[in-house]
């Protein structure tokens, strides 16, 4: 080959100019969020733009950037907007943009080799999470892409720790023979309101959907403890092997919190692993006036939570903590010869045994920790405490507005930071009210006024407002209620 090529630019000056422009545009975008619609759907011509084969040759970078501005940036999910409250999503922070850029500038890798500073940043972030959430500093842990991965890791550890046989060596077929001559099925328990990621986790772990026992809930949509005890006892009588109970610290649908102390007591008596899915609600533990809502969470054998939701870190970043670090290590650690480590301080691989990658299923891991580390240093933990309490107070404020409006009806008391309510028009049956409230949701979104979502509670549809947004103000909730009442009165209903 006469000429060796590189992917670096030939003109670094041109790249520098583009980078400066991109940063300026990004800052302008974030600074003007309140002035723009909360939501804008990609129209047909935008979708059509992304058809066609891969480019064979180069395109000028300024043209690529222009395409981003025209065809990509305007059509985002909208979660950074002050009036985005759909599902449960975080909002991001400006420092997160800088952290992502800095990490990308070194193509940062985290979790392997002792000489890499990134690992020590993640270890410190993990210790900060343990400290803030009241978890033992000796616990194991790992930053993840989010709670789907965190729940998967936690349930893998729970399964292996409580199976009673060597799952890694023998697989699930190695379970002791149960009723009917087949291996005893391992079972995990959670409420009917628990997140779908738990179902995916048991499927990925080869246990099968039927191994996840969905327990009925009480009137406040918390796991029914009596029903749980009965299901565990019956399953044991039938030759199954219960291994884990999942408590939820803030359900996605309503924000309901299971009785975590009672679940911890039950698991201790029954010899079961206690896992808590605290995807967003775990962070109530740092709110000055609300930490009692998740009391008992610190007793969990494992805890999953996100930082890209209520902590508002840029997507993606979640975390899992495991009380027994050795159990986590036994579940995932694997060291082939080409990744040997712990062979001496002078060696390239160093002496840190284990690597962070030994605590999960991914070897290649990005530098998620940097944005968490920088954000906590920028604001301090006390400001995050205040912002989370502020969101809880805003949810209560919204609940008060709903209670004061005769046209509105709340599904159930707000347990945390989620308010579910609907518009009620006299003369309409429940089916028509479901249709009307779905139309209200769509109109709010399509007009760019605000973004709630819709949840089904007790068979009926309600507007779902999850207040996990550091940019929201009380005036935004005033506007939301006014618009819901106005749209509810104006919108026609078929039939």
pLDDT tens string 128-167:
999 999 999 999 999 999 999 999 999 999 999 999 999 9
Alpha-carbon distance of 147 to 311, in angstroms, equals 13
Alpha-carbon distance of 349 to 93, in angstroms, equals 35
Domain boundary among 355, 379, 403: 379
Q: Is 433 a domain residue?
A: yes
Do residue 429 and residue 284 come from a single domain? Answer: no
Do residue 242 and residue 372 come from a single domain? Answer: yes
Q: Is 57 a domain residue?
A: no
Alpha-carbon distance of 368 to 75, in angstroms, equals 25
pLDDT value for 2: 76
- What CATH number corresponds to the domain at position 301? 3.40.640.10
Do residue 315 and residue 396 come from a single domain? Answer: no
Whole-number percent of the chain with pLDDT over 70? 95
pLDDT value for 352: 54
What contacts 444, CB < 8 A, 6 or more positions away?
450, 451, 452, 480, 483, 484, 487
Do residue 260 and residue 285 come from a single domain? Answer: yes
pLDDT one-digit tens code per residue, 169-221: 999 999 888 767 777 899 999 999 999 999 999 999 999 999 999 999 999 99
Predicted confidence band at 117 (pLDDT cuts at 50, 70, 90)? very high
Among candidate residues 84, 149, 154, the one with its CA nearest the CA of residue 316: 149
Q: Is 303 a domain residue?
A: yes
pLDDT surpasses 60 at 358:
yes
Q: Whole-structure pTM over 0.75, yes or no?
A: yes
pLDDT surpasses 90 at 353:
no
Do residue 460 and residue 355 come from a single domain? Answer: no
pLDDT surpasses 60 at 53:
yes
Q: Is 210 a domain residue?
A: yes
pLDDT value for 342: 60
Alpha-carbon distance of 393 to 401, in angstroms, equals 13
Q: Is 77 a domain residue?
A: no
pLDDT surpasses 60 at 347:
no
- What CATH number corresponds to the domain at position 417? 3.90.1150.170
What contacts 52, CB < 8 A, 6 or more positions away?
none
Q: Is 215 a domain residue?
A: yes
Q: Is 27 a domain residue?
A: no
Do residue 365 and residue 415 come from a single domain? Answer: no
Do residue 422 and residue 275 come from a single domain? Answer: no
Average pLDDT of every residue of the chain:
94
pLDDT one-digit tens code per residue, 298-311: 999 999 999 999 99
Q: Residue 179: is it exposed, middle or buried by C-beta count within 10 angstroms (0-12/13-18/19+)?
A: exposed
Instruction: Say if residues 157 and 213 touch (Cβ distance below 8 Å).
Output: no
Do residue 404 and residue 334 come from a single domain? Answer: no
The DSSP secondary structure of 1-52, one letter per residue, reads: --S---SS-S-HHHHHHHHHHHHHHHHHHHHTGGGS-S-----HHHHHHT-S
pLDDT surpasses 80 at 351:
no
Per-residue 3-state assignment (H helix, E strand, C coil) for 310-378: CCCCCCCCEEEEECCHHHHHHHHCCCCHHHCCCCCCCCCCCCCCCCHHHHCCCCCCCCCHHHHHHHHHH
Strand 186-191 vs strand 241-248: parallel, antiparallel, or unpaired? parallel
pLDDT value for 349: 46
pLDDT value for 495: 54
Do residue 129 and residue 206 come from a single domain? Answer: yes
pLDDT value for 114: 82
Do residue 395 and residue 475 come from a single domain? Answer: yes
pLDDT surpasses 70 at 346:
no
Residue 458 tokens, joined? 């007790």
Domain boundary among 379, 408, 430: 379
Instruction: Say if residues 232 and 316 touch (Cβ distance below 8 Å).
Output: no
CA 306 to chain centre: 4
Alpha-carbon distance of 479 to 401, in angstroms, equals 11
Do residue 342 and residue 414 come from a single domain? Answer: no
What's the half-sphere exposure (Cβ side, CA atoms, 13 Å) at 305?
30
Domain count, the chain: 2
Do residue 357 and residue 397 come from a single domain? Answer: no
pLDDT surpasses 90 at 340:
no
Domain boundary among 379, 403, 428: 379
pLDDT one-digit tens code per residue, 473-484: 999 999 999 999
Alpha-carbon distance of 485 to 405, in angstroms, equals 8
Q: Is 16 a domain residue?
A: no
pLDDT one-digit tens code per residue, 156-165: 999 999 999 9
pLDDT surpasses 50 at 12:
yes
Instruction: Say if residues 65 and 18 touch (Cβ distance below 8 Å).
Output: yes
Residue 265 tokens, joined? 């007591």
Predicted confidence band at 115 (pLDDT cuts at 50, 70, 90)? confident
For residue 446, the enclosing domain spans 382-490
């Amino acid at each position: 080959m006469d000429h060796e090529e590189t992917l670096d630019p030939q003109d670094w000056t041109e790249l520098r100019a583009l980078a400066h422009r991109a940063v300026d545009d990004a800052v302008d975008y974030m600074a003007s969020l309140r002035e723009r619609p909360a939501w804008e759907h990609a129209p047909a011509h935008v979708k059509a733009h992304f058809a066609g084969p891969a480019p064979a040759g180069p395109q000028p970078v300024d043209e690529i950037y222009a395409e981003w501005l025209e065809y990509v940036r305007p059509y985002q999910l909208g979660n950074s907007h002050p009036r985005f409250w759909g599902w449960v999503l975080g909002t991001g922070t400006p420092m997160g943009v800088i952290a992502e850029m800095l990490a990308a500038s070194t193509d940062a890798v985290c979790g392997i080799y002792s000489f890499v500073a990134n690992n020590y940043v993640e270890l410190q972030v993990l210790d900060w999470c343990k400290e803030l959430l009241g978890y033992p500093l000796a616990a194991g842990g790992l930053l993840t892409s989010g709670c789907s991965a965190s729940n998967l890791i936690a349930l893998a550890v729970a399964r292996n720790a409580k199976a009673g046989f060597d799952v890694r060596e023998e697989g699930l077929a190695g379970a002791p023979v149960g009723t009917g001559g087949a291996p005893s099925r391992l079972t995990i328990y959670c409420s009917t309101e628990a997140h779908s990621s738990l179902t995916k986790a048991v499927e990925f772990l080869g246990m099968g959907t039927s191994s996840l026992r969905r327990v009925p809930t009480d009137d406040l949509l918390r796991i029914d403890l009596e029903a749980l005890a009965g299901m565990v006892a019956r399953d044991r009588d039938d030759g199954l092997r219960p291994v884990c109970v999942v408590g939820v610290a803030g359900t996605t649908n309503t924000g309901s919190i299971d009785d975590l102390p009672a679940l911890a007591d039950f698991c201790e008596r029954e010899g079961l692993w206690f896992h808590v899915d605290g995807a967003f609600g775990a962070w109530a533990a740092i709110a000055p006036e609300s930490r009692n809502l998740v009391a008992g969470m610190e007793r969990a054998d494992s805890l999953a939570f996100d930082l890209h939701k209520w902590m508002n870190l840029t997507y993606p970043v979640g975390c899992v903590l495991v009380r027994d670090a050795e159990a986590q290590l036994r579940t995932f650690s694997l060291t082939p010869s080409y990744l040997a480590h712990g062979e001496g301080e002078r060696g390239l691989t160093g002496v840190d045994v284990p690597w962070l990658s030994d605590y999960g299923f991914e070897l290649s891991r990005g530098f998620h920790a940097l944005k968490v580390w920088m954000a906590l240093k920028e604001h301090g933990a006390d400001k995050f405490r205040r912002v989370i309490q502020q969101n809880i107070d805003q949810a209560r404020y919204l609940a008060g507005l709903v209670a004061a409006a005769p046209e509105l009806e709340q599904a159930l008391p707000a347990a945390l930071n989620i308010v579910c309510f609907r518009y009620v028009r006299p003369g309409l049956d429940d089916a028509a009210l479901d249709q009307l409230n779905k139309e209200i949701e769509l109109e709010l979104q399509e007009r760019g006024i605000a973004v709630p979502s819709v949840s089904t509670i007790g068979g009926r549809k309600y507007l779902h407002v999850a207040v996990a947004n550091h940019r929201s103000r009380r005036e935004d909730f005033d506007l939301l209620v006014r618009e819901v009442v106005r749209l509810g009165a104006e919108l026609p209903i078929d039939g």
